Amino acid sequence: MDTNRTLTLVAPTRLEGYGVRLRAWTDADLADLVALYDDPEMARWTPVASPFDLDAARAYLAGAREGLAEGRRVQLAVTTDGALPRGEVLLFRSGADERDLELAYGVGAAHRGQGLAGRAVRLAAEYAVREIRPRRVVLRIAAANAASEAVARTCAFELTDEPPVTRVSRGREAVLRTWRLRT
């Protein structure tokens, strides 16, 4: 693996495994995006707009398409049937080191507690290692986000001793710890 290259991301048509199907977002998903992201927990842990309405969903989908066109980011709907979005998994070049691939994820309130996040992260991480071949696959998680830390542990990620990463979104500062996929 070339550890000096910058990653270029291309969306897979579809990923399937572990009882989930990951697929591209479509314009038909706008109402589902609102249902997933207009939620206090999503607003607490993610940088999405809050409140999250149809205008926010349109802007979000446009941003996802732009990130994909630039080869920086892939955003996939998490489904169990290939149709109804229950969450999202994102793959993107890390801002700290563009040789690293960062994953992020969220599951809608109505679909939590079913293991969807863990299954989607596992599937996306395996795809990343096999097809994208980054230097490493990482998650950035706030220390207070116990649910996301549990997903990280379940999916073979381990907490690193790297200094926390600070990100600002919606005027709010988030201090995130780095987890890396064990090889």
User: Cα separations (Å) of 107 from 20, 37, 95, 164?
Assistant: 12, 9, 23, 24
Q: Which residue has the higher pLDDT, 40 or 21?
A: 21
Residue 6's pLDDT is what?
A: 66
pLDDT of residue 4: 55
Confidence of residue 1 (pLDDT cuts 50, 70, 90): very low
Higher-pLDDT residue of 57 and 2 is: 57
Both tokens of residue 160?
A: 């690193």
Calculate the average pLDDT of the chain: 90
Q: How confident is the model at residue 5 (pLDDT cuts 50, 70, 90)?
A: low
At 119, give phi and psi (nearest 5°): -70, -40
Indicate the helix (H) or strand (E) that contains 153: helix 146-154
Domains of the chain in sequence order:
14-181 (3.40.630.30)
